[in-house]
Structure 1
Amino acid sequence: MSLVANQSRLRIMILAYSISPVRGSEYSVGWNHVTQMSKFCDLTVIYGLAGDHMGDIEEIENYLQKNGEISNVRFIAIRPSLIARLLNSPNRKGFLVYSFYLAYKVWHRQAARKAQSLLASESFDLVHYLCPIGYREPGFLWQFDIPYVWGPIGGMVPTRSLNGAPRSTISIWKTRLKNLTNAIQLRLSRRVPKAIARADKLVAATSDNAEIIKARFGRDPQVLPENAIPNDWIQHEFKGGQTTVGSCVRLIWIGSLDARKSPDLLIDALKRVSASNWHIDLIGDGSLRSTLVTMIAAAGLGDKVTLTGLIPRSEVKKLMKGADLHIITSMNEANPTVLWEAMASGVPTISLEHCGMRDTICGSCGVLIPMSDYQETCDLIASEIDRFVNDSKILANKKSGVLSCAETHLWSNRANTWLKIYNEAIESHLSNKTRA
């Protein structure tokens, strides 16, 4: 097993369970990292999901058949064993969804066996456990004697809630149970602290996850969002002139219509907006859709709010590029892909002040809303929307600032950061072996 820290192109094994060229969220974390870092490194990518469920890998296969192999990238699919498929069966059918984690652990053992075989027959400089970013399943690749990077890591932060939020008893207890389970896993997991201690370089997706890692495990990870902006996403034309005094200001919200994303918070805020020259597209679907339909009708916002449902990604991008203001109301996130899409399109964002949004959004590219009680938060969101709708100069200045901020989050810059992380991990591993 050769460890060559100063070669021109590092040979890296990446574990990216979820990866797809046509999906967002965790899938895009893997895809964007691999396609961007392949410009600088030779990558072997072990994966298991490019579709809806474990073992669905057609999206990768179809892409490669249509577009050809990606230079410097070798994809290795790990298909779930019979045991993994049986364990995941309840999850596929929509009940006992936590059975997935049992199947996922089995899948990781399969991935580790494949990795061990590759390490025995080929030379690699480093292993990187990339995604999903959740900490709960650390896998087994950290057990091998090779420089090891884990991250960006997320999922450690409890889901927030606003006092006085109109949540059902079931929803409240689901959130409490999830947070309790999360706390228990952090305390009792045997492999998580071992994997964190073993990693030559740790990366946290957000500053609040980094704080938990430092407090609980004594490691000080580098903070780096799990995704970035591909250079070809950037809309270089300045959009400030598109919003003139009196014209309709286009708002946009994207996400699952569920309690975690809190679209009902947005509707309650929109009821308080005094300006009239605005319209919003709510893109997505989920369990709160019927509730939102009722809320919109009761508030008399039928001509102001469009519930698009699930629409093709190309249409989402089109609506984003035509938008003037983007809004995030999530109670728990890492760094949502829609934030990068908004920045790339020159669209400022209003968001609650927590999670990855707190790390990324600044006064130049958006507004952070302090989290207080539900009613006050609604008032603050409404006030900011009114401010942007009523003053086209403020909106134009924010749009200009967004594109400036976006430059700092381009993948062309992020790639250099990852190369530095990789080389630091290699140096740390070699140094530790020398001291041992």
Structure 2
Amino acid sequence: MIISAIPSTRPRVLIVAFACHPDMNMETRIGWNRAVASARDYDTTVVHSGEFSSDELSRKAASVGIPASNLKFIAVKSWMSWVPIPMDAVYWMGYRAWHTKALGIASAIHDESRFDLVHLVSYCGYREPGQWWKLGIPFIWGPVGGTQNFPTNFLREIAIGSSVREGLRNYMNNWQLYRSRRIRSAAQNAHTVFAASSEARRDMLRGTGVHCTQLLETAVSPLRPSPSRELDTTRPFRILWSGRLREWKALPLLLEALTRLPSDLKFELRVMGVGASENRWRKIAERLKIAEQVQWIGWPSYSEGLKQYRWADAFAFTSLRDTSGTGLLESLAAGTPIIGVDHQGAHDIMTPHCSIPVSVDSPRLAVEGFKNAIFRLSRDPALWRRLSEGAVIRTRQFSWERLSDEIDAAYQQALKPQSSSDEFWPEKQRETVSITQPSLASLFTPALRQSLK
């Protein structure tokens, strides 16, 4: 007697995660963790870039207890992976083409075996949402970020080419947010749009007229027990900086601050990351005569990288434009106080109980802020202990479990029976706003014009 398999009664979820892998970087972990969390309650299919094979991803899912019947991976190859040009130069054309190809494949599957919901997870950036809402099922988008601009009063602090690039990016941000029909259509046809920061939430409302739910795009998992730590004042003060070595990350602000510390305050700085600005920044460290105190350790494995946060007495966050920053969360989980610029996504993560904020009102104030914070933290073990303990407590707000609970609630709301297809997209998310397109001339701020002289 042949016994047929009993069809699953669980809802079918399609996850769009161009980047998906548990170990490689923040974007791949965002896609991976959402896929695994979804598969616990829904029959989940993930379309991904194919950078890592579907077989490899299935094996990794099985290793954390997710059977293949609950989580399927479909690789959609993109020509972005083999064009020998830096990604920035082909990003929009290639990534849009990938969305079009992936949507075609997913639509064919949908025609055969209907999905109940589609969620665009990765990439986090808002610029290319595809047209997944055209599947005619509830569409979840985000958390999205990337709306933040580079502060124009810092344009003279970075290399000339990067200064021009950031100025152009600022203008394109404004143009796309206010003028892109593709972005507006995706936002207004979504059941839920998650914004990764308070700034992204505000920008999306102004640009698309859609109220977003604020939810950080990344998290830490698992929450590692962090035994109480004490500041060892018998050795040099240890500072960790982590991120891509690109101009907008603004490491030289920290390097300059270190030169202004009292001569009796000994320090060590570890720079964790790789990127095009490394050579320029190494030369700056040499010019400032602090090269011997700076270690450039590249990108270690994820597990080895986590150890660096426990090594540090402080995590320095200098990025002048970032949706959030995984390093901030890893620092909190390690019980390492943060000294960081107080804007954009970092502003939402840092509190007075776990960090010392640094003003971005001007480059001078930023440098002074880092100097004063390092001096204060290195000389006050009681303050250091309070911030360390506060960091561990703060981490509880940013677990993958908590993030997944928020997204699952949106899934459940979207999957409720509706009287008509129009109810996929609640009117309360929409708002008519007055849109004023910034002029091209506004790109050329006094700071940028001066940097070009």
Indicate which of 406, 410, 430 corresponds to 2:399.
Answer: 410
Paired amino acid for 1:273: L
Distance 2:343 2:21 in 1: 28
Conservation of the 8 A alpha-carbon contact between 1:200 and 1:426: no
Q: Does 1:424 align with 2:408?
A: no
Residue in 2 that maps onto 1:27: 28
Residue in 1 that maps onto 2:18: 17
**Deviation digits for residues 25-57 of structure 1 (CA, Å, limit 9, x no counterpart):** 211111122223333333111111xxxxxx533
Q: Which runs of 5+ in 1 are unaligned?
A: 1-6, 49-54
User: Helix, strand or coil: the match of 1:257?
Assistant: coil
Indicate which of 230, 234, 246 corresponds to 1:258.
Answer: 246
Conservation of the 8 A alpha-carbon contact between 1:44 and 1:73: yes
Distance 1:180 1:67 in 2: 41
Conservation of the 8 A alpha-carbon contact between 2:414 and 2:424: no
Residue in 2 that maps onto 1:399: 388
Residue in 2 that maps onto 1:78: 76
How far 1:290 sits from its partner (Å)? 2.2
How far 1:412 sits from its partner (Å)? 2.0
Q: Does 1:230 align with 2:221?
A: yes
Distance 1:171 1:190 in 2: 28
Residue in 1 that maps onto 2:210: 219
Distance 1:431 1:156 in 2: 33
Conservation of the 8 A alpha-carbon contact between 2:124 and 2:144: yes
How far 1:308 sits from its partner (Å)? 1.6
Distance 1:434 1:57 in 2: 37
Map 1:92-241 onto structure 2 (within 5 A). Answer: 92-94=83-85, 97-163=88-154, 165-231=156-222, 234-241=223-230
Indicate which of 212, 236, 259 corresponds to 1:248.
Answer: 236
Q: Does 1:267 align with 2:255?
A: yes
Residue in 2 that maps onto 1:367: 356
- CA 1:293 to 1:107, structure 2 compared with 1: closer, same or farther past 3 Å? closer
Residue in 2 that maps onto 1:290: 279
Distance 2:144 2:157 in 1: 31
Q: TM-score, normalised by structure 2?
A: 0.84
Q: Does 1:280 align with 2:269?
A: yes
Question: Percent of aligned pairs with the same residue?
Answer: 25
Q: Which moved more, 1:94-103 or 1:406-415?
A: 94-103
Paired amino acid for 2:256: D
Conservation of the 8 A alpha-carbon contact between 1:246 and 1:277: no
Conservation of the 8 A alpha-carbon contact between 2:354 and 2:391: yes
Residue in 2 that maps onto 1:56: 51
Conservation of the 8 A alpha-carbon contact between 2:117 and 2:138: yes
**Deviation digits for residues 275-330 of structure 1 (CA, Å, limit 9, x no counterpart):** 52321111112222222222222333233221223333332122122222111111
Paired amino acid for 2:314: L
- CA 1:245 to 1:100, structure 2 compared with 1: closer, same or farther past 3 Å? closer
**Deviation digits for residues 332-363 of structure 1 (CA, Å, limit 9, x no counterpart):** 11122212211221112111111211111111
Conservation of the 8 A alpha-carbon contact between 2:226 and 2:392: no
User: Helix, strand or coil: the match of 2:107?
Assistant: helix
How far 1:420 sits from its partner (Å)? 1.0
How far 1:10 sits from its partner (Å)? 3.9
Paired amino acid for 1:411: W
Conservation of the 8 A alpha-carbon contact between 1:147 and 1:429: no
How far 1:182 sits from its partner (Å)? 2.4
**Deviation digits for residues 87-115 of structure 1 (CA, Å, limit 9, x no counterpart):** x48x8323584323212222211111122
For this pair of structures, how many residues does the alignment match? 413
Conservation of the 8 A alpha-carbon contact between 2:120 and 2:140: yes
User: Helix, strand or coil: the match of 2:24?
Assistant: coil
Residue in 2 that maps onto 1:42: 43
Q: Which moved more, 1:396-405 or 1:347-356?
A: 347-356
Residue in 2 that maps onto 1:310: 299
Conservation of the 8 A alpha-carbon contact between 1:44 and 1:74: yes
Distance 1:199 1:180 in 2: 26
Kindly report the root-mean-square deviation, in angstroms, between the aligned alpha carbons of the 2 structures. Answer: 2.5
Q: Which moved more, 1:287-296 or 1:158-167?
A: 158-167
Distance 1:250 1:310 in 2: 18
Q: Which moved more, 1:262-271 or 1:34-43?
A: 34-43
How far 1:63 sits from its partner (Å)? 5.0
How far 1:433 sits from its partner (Å)? 3.8
**Deviation digits for residues 67-86 of structure 1 (CA, Å, limit 9, x no counterpart):** 74733211111123xxxx2x
How far 1:168 sits from its partner (Å)? 3.3
